[in-house]
Chains A and B, each alone.
Chain A
Amino acid sequence: MTKRTNDSWLSDLRADGDVQAEALEDLRSTLMGGLPYALSGWLSPTDPAFTPLAEEVTQEALLKILDSLHTFEGRSQFTTWAHKIAVNLALSKLRRRRWTDVSLEELTGENDSGPAHPWLVADSSAGPDQKAEQRDMLEHINRIIREELTDKQRQALVARLVYGMPTDLLAKEMHMERNALYKLIFDARENLKRRLEAEGLSPREVLAAFER
C-alpha cells in the first residue's frame, strides 16, 4: 500500500483513472482493516453477518468520503477522518438493528412485581455500603417514576434516557412528532425532579452519590 500524506490522499482521490483507483483500493483496505476493531463488542468478525456488513459499510463510506473530501479540515490524519465516517455508518446500522421490533411495553412496562425489566439498577461493582445506599436511593427513584409519571411519560423517559432508544425510532413507536416527544420527556424529567425535592432529595446530591 502506498504511504500517503493528507494532501496526497486528497489529490489522489480527486485524480482520474489508475491514480484514483489505486487510492480507492488502498482506502478500502484501510477501512476494512479497521472495522473488526471498531465493531469489537458489537459484532464478532467470525459472525456470518460481519463480512456483508463490513463490505456494505465500506462501500457506503467510500462514496461518502469522495463526496465529502471538501469538508476534510486536516484536524487529524486523513485515515482517522475516513475511519470516523466508516465507524459512524457501521454503528448507526447496528443501533437501528438492535432496536428493530423492540416492544416499548416490554421494555418499560410493569407487571404485578414491579418493572418488567430494570429501569435503574444499582452498580454491581460498588462496595457493599455504597451498594446498599444506592439500592435504597434507586428504589426511591423507581417508585417516584411509577407514582408520579403518566404511562406515556414513563415510557418515553425510560426508553430514551435510561435505555438510549434513538429519538426517531421512539417517536415513530409512540406515534408522536419529535418536538412533542421532547416536551413529554422534558415534563417527565421536571415532574421527577420536583417530586424528589419535595421528598428531601436534591437531584444534585443523588447524582453525586453515583458518580464514579
Chain B
Amino acid sequence: MDEQSKDEPLPAPLDLATALRRVLGESDLDWENSSCPEVLRIIDEYVERLTKGEDASECMPMVKLHLEECPDCCAECDALLRVLGFGGGEQQRA
C-alpha cells in the first residue's frame, strides 16, 4: 500500500468508553496474541448467530466481551455484518 500522505489527518482516538475501559480496566494487554486469534477464528459463527436474532451475550459471551475492548476485532465484526446485509453493527452487539 502507498505511504500515508503528509496531508492526511492523524488517526482518530477510539470511542471514549472503549478507551477508558482499556486505560482503567483490568484486561490482558496482550489481547492481540491471546484473544484476537481465537475470536477471529469463530467470528463468522458469532455474526451468523446475530443475524438470526440470537442473544450474543448468551450464546458467545466471551466474544462479546472481547469486542467491547478490541476495536480491531469489533471493526471486523461490523464489516462482516455489513457484508451479510446487517448494517450498523452497534445495535447487533447490544
CB within 8 Å of B: which residues of A?
34, 37-40, 49, 53, 75-77, 80-81, 83-84, 87-88, 90-91, 93-102, 106-107, 117-123, 134, 141, 157, 161-167, 182, 185-186, 189, 192-193, 196, 203, 206-207, 210-212
Among B18-65, those with CB < 8 Å from A are 19-25, 29-30, 32, 40, 42-45, 47-48
A161 to chain B, nearest CB (A): 4
14 contacts between A and B (CB under 8 A): A34-B83, A83-B80, A84-B47, A91-B75, A91-B76, A95-B72, A96-B1, A98-B4, A98-B11, A186-B29, A189-B23, A193-B24, A206-B24, A212-B17
Name B76's contact: one of A88, A122, A182, A206 (CB within 8 Å): A88
Q: Do A76 and B47 have beta carbons less than 8 Å apart?
A: yes
Contact count band on B:
35 or more
CB within 8 Å of A: which residues of B?
1-4, 6, 10-17, 19-25, 29-30, 32, 40, 42-45, 47-48, 71-72, 75-76, 79-80, 82-85, 87
Cα(A100)–Cα(B10), bound, Å: 10
A158 to chain B, nearest CB (A): 8
